[in-house]
Chain A
Amino acid sequence: MAIATKKTAKILVFSTEKISDPAIDMAGLMKLHYPPTVYTITVPCSSGIKSKWILYAYEKGFDGVFIAADGSDCVYGESCTEKTGKLVTKTHELMKSQEIEPARLRMAAICSVCSESFVKQIRSFNDYLLKTLHPES
């Protein structure tokens, strides 16, 4: 078994219990590999994520934060997409004011069967973060 030695970016994923969690679980079930320094915190709905949590993650040392949003599948209603978009915009503004590159926060709608999409997004985000924050790796 090959041991991966390449440095990987530290990414915090906010995932939702009913929509994106099943996709992330299924990625594991399908052995779709992504960096092991990607950690998930589950919330009920992506539009309930607070900007202060995201900023706290950067403060503590996370390279990137990824919101695995409910999108139009949100079980709490259609307004989720717009509200999650607003909180991302608001957080981007706060990041700018703290001189944190807004591109370190990404959001994508991850439906309950979007395992491949999740892994693709995370690998791409990891590559971006490594290139911009850890060019030596």
Chain B
Amino acid sequence: MEKRIGVYICHCGGNISDYVDVEKVRQSVENDDNIVLAKTTMFACSDANQKDMVDDINNFNLDGVIVASCSPKLHLVTFRNVTERGNLNKYTYVHSNIREQASWAHSDNKEGATEKAIHLVKSAIAKARHTQPLDPTKIKAEKSVAVIGAGIAGLKAALSLSEKETHVFVIEKEAAVGGWVAKWKDLFLTDETGDAIIKRLYEELKKRQNVTIFLNSEVVGNTGSIGNISLKIKQKEEEFDITVGSVLVATGFEPYKPKEDEFGFASVPNVITLPEFKQLIDHEKNTLTYNGKPVHNIAYIYCVGSRQPEGENTYCSRYCCTATIHAANQVRNKFRDIQNYHFTRGVRSYGKQELLYAESLQGGDIYLQSYEDGLPTVFARNNKPVVRVNDILTGGKELEVEADLVVLVTGMAPRSDNKVGSLFKLPKGRDKFFNEIHMKLRPVETVIDGVTIAGACQGPKTIIETVNSALSAATKAYSNISKGVLETDPQIAKIEAPACIGCSDCLPACPFDAISMARQGGKSIAVINNSLCKGCGMCTPVCPTDAIDLIAYSNVEIMGMIDALV
């Protein structure tokens, strides 16, 4: 039976139709083979249009639907759901992006934008001609979640999960929960200290019947996939297995450790890092002393291990400007005769953190600034550290501060121990923190189905941002398993058995060990494990007989699209 395809071309208010002649696009495709319906619509995503689409699917007996509108990142799922409501298989839906990749990209050339939109819609039609109804892969899901790491992210995520119908396993490498926050006292925006917050969360968690906490424990093995993940846990000398449906990784960060002689670290006396300074002010009583000598002048050098011009730490660590200003205010309020000098590269105290900055200025702190090509230098004079800078705020004037103590404002670095990342094959970004699928639209999901990430293992975060991320990851982790049954996209590799010559070239190409050799029809051929295949397609170009296609990205679909785009 011939395909019956309906095409909807969206004005997107005027976002598309201001630059693309949508009526011309419609006329260009309405008489194409298989097209039984071609409409323009002001807003394809509106409730009214969605209802019309459902009616059209039924009235015109459509078996394929295309919407030409914005990026699929925004509305692919929306329109897949519409086709399902019209009793069509959602994988027969094809999306065409004529906003970001036509009207906006070529707003300087209406004619060109319209021609491009026509080609893009025709290529979507070419793909839609070959789409097949597919069944999502259904997997039984264990209703339990493993939370790896019991810092503030792990604890908040575990508490959130424990309120749902699931068992929660919290796995912590250290002998105690709490991570870095448990070591901190005063925090900004709350009167509660870091260790008190952790204690409160831990006490609450211990009361929950559906929570098991493993301390001194590490995950050392991982098999299975989303819905049924078996984890081998090593607790001291003992090893045991647990089975979970989903894993939430919250392994946190490490403070950046300066290299020897980096801003005088380990080579000039009285140069310490921000974490060391915070410990010092928490533990010192009436008078601030370091190495037995009183401290009055404190120089803070910002962006140590962050925003480096070269190397791996080119990112901003986000929390350190605020943490430093907070510590500087705290030290000025707690001890007498303190003068703070901040050697910054521009203060990033966003949102409510500006209040701290204002308090610091009102308290008499002095701010100096330099660019990355004129960083401050630290050297010793009379056994004291001296910081010198050409301060851009005073027209590049060379200024020196003879300090009693120099605090290197060290940022967050990814954990050097990447056992968990390697175990779950979690991708890392250029900053070496774990990478989410999309920083805005899928911010806690990883490409590994069923594995979410939370907190500073994903990148530098403040406590507030960490908790937000943990709650989001907990919700996502639970949504994976909440029904006890899982549906996954069936867009996986498929081997045409008769064409396979059993060379096994595809086995090493697969990064997920989803291909193995098996005897079939009297010969050895490659077979795909559907539950392990992630649909990357890395195996497809290496096959000497072209026996492997990726479902939805097959030769016939891609080459049909090329035909339509020329």
Contacts and interface: CB of A to CB of B under 8 A. Distances in A.
- Please determine whether chains A and B interact with each other in the same assembly: yes
Interface of A: 1-4, 8, 10, 12, 18, 21-22, 24-29, 31-37, 39-41, 43-45, 47-53, 56-57, 60-62, 72-80, 83, 87, 90, 111-112
Contact of B112 (A36, A53, A78, A111): A36
B108 A1 contact: yes
Contacts of B109: 2-4, 33, 36
Contact of B537 (A4, A41, A44, A61): A44
A87 B123 contact: no
B437 interface: yes
B563 interface: yes
Contact of A48 (B427, B540, B566): B540
Interface stretch (B97-105, B130-138, B252-260, B293-301): B97-105
Interface residues of B, number: 55
A104 B266 CA distance: 54
Contacts of B538: 45, 47-48, 76, 79-80, 83
Nearest to A36: B112
Contacts of A62: 562, 565-566
Contact of B123 (A22, A25, A39, A73): A39
A29 B100 contact: yes
A36 B113 contact: yes
Nearest to A62: B566
B319 interface: no
A51 B107 contact: no
A111 B438 CA distance: 11
Contacts of A73: 427, 429-430, 435
B553 interface: yes
Contacts of B167: none
Nearest to A79: B511
A76 B566 contact: no
A18 B448 CA distance: 13
Contacts of B534: 76
Contact of B430 (A10, A36, A72): A72
Nearest to B97: A25
6 contacts: A48-B541, A53-B555, A57-B566, A76-B511, A77-B425, A77-B427
A26 to B, nearest CB: 8
